[in-house]
A and B are shown apart, each in its own frame.
Chain A
Amino acid sequence: SQTIHQWPATLVQPVGSPLSLECTVEGTSNPNLYWYRQAAGRGLQLLFYSVGIGQISSEVPQNLSASRPQDRQFILSSKKLLLSDSGFYLCAWSPLGGGKYNEQFFGPGTRLTVL
C-alpha cells in the first residue's frame, strides 16, 4: 500500500530564516506530487505540483520554491521566510495519469509558525 511521509510535523522559525520541508511517497511509482498551504481558518492553496523528476509547476508567485530530485521525493524551500508564510503545509500525491478516479492523498502535514 502507498504511504506518504512529511517532516517535520511542527516547526517554529524566525523571519528571514531558510526553510526546507520534505515529503516522500512509498509504494507507488511516478506519482503526481503537490504542495499545498492552508492558512488558519482558510482553504487549501495549491503552491506547486510536479508530474515528474525536475518538473515543477508553480501556481502562485511567492518566495517559496519546490524541487523534485527523485521520483518520490518533493521538497519545499525558502531562502528567507516571511510572517505570511505561517500555515499548515500539506504534501499530496495522486497516480500519474489519474488512476481510475484520480484521487489525491495527503501527508500528515507540517505546521509552520514564523515569528
Chain B
Amino acid sequence: RKEVEQDPGPFNVPEGATVAFNCTYSNSASQSFFWYRQDCRKEPKLLMSVYSSGNEDGRFTAQLNRASQYISLLIRDSKLSDSATYLCVVNVRTGNQFYFGTGTSLTVIP
C-alpha cells in the first residue's frame, strides 16, 4: 500500500470555480502535513502546511482529519495561474521521512 495516495485527475475547471483535492495517508504516526505545488518541469514549491485545526491562506483552505487519515485542499475562485500539479506530502518524524503523493493535475480553463 502506498504511503500517500491522491487522485491523479486531471481536474479541468472553469475560472472562478471551487475545486477540492483529497489525499489519504497510511502511517498513523505521520506528524506533519503539507501541500506543494509543482509547475511543469519545475521543482515543487511549498503551498501551505496543514495544521491540525485546519488553516486558510487567501483562496486556499487545508484540512486534516487524523481519525480518517486524510488531508484536503480547497481552492476557491480558481485562477488561470492555479493550473499546476498539487502534491500531498506527509512527514513521519522518525528518520525524517517525507512521503509524496503522485500529485493531482489541475487545469483552470478561461
Count the A-B residue pairs with Cβ separation under 8 angstroms: how many? 57
Question: How far, in Å, is B50 (CB) from chain A's closest CB?
Answer: 9
Is A53 located at the chain interface by the 8 A CB criterion?
A: no
Q: Compute how far the CA of A46 lies from the CA of B91 in the bound complex, rounded to whole angstroms.
A: 13
Q: Which residues of B contact A103 (CB under 8 A)?
A: 32, 34, 46, 49
Q: Which of A51, A108, A109, A111 contacts B96 (CB 8 A)?
A: A51
Q: Which residues of A contact B42 (CB under 8 A)?
A: 108-109
Q: Compute how far the CA of A105 lies from the CA of B46 in the bound complex, rounded to whole angstroms.
A: 7
Considering the complex, which residues of chain A in the window 87-115 have a beta carbon less than 8 Å from any beta carbon of chain B?
A: 88, 90, 94, 98, 101-109, 111
Q: Which of A42, A102, A108 contacts B91 (CB 8 A)?
A: A102
In the complex, identify which listed stretch (B14-22, B65-73, B99-107) lies at the interface while the others stay far away: B99-107
Decide: A43 and B96 in contact? CB cutoff 8 A.
Answer: no
List 13 A–B pairs whose Cβ atoms lie within 8 Å, in order of A's numbering: A34-B98, A36-B100, A43-B87, A43-B100, A43-B102, A43-B103, A46-B97, A51-B96, A98-B96, A103-B49, A106-B44, A109-B42, A109-B43
Q: Which residues of B contact A105 (CB under 8 A)?
A: 46
Question: How far, in Å, is B73 (CB) from chain A's closest CB?
Answer: 16
Measured as residues with beta carbon below 8 angstroms from the partner, the interface class of chain A is 20 to 34
Q: Which residues of B contact A57 (CB under 8 A)?
A: 95
Q: Which residues of B contact A42 (CB under 8 A)?
A: 102
Given contacts A51-B96, A94-B96, A101-B49, contact A107 B103 (CB under 8 A): no
Residue of A42, A49, A103, A111 contacting most chain B CB atoms (<10 Å): A103
Q: Which of A34, A43, A90, A98 contacts B43 (CB 8 A)?
A: A90
Of all chain B residues, the one with the shortest Cβ separation from A45 is B100
Is B1 located at the chain interface by the 8 A CB criterion?
A: no
Is A44 located at the chain interface by the 8 A CB criterion?
A: yes
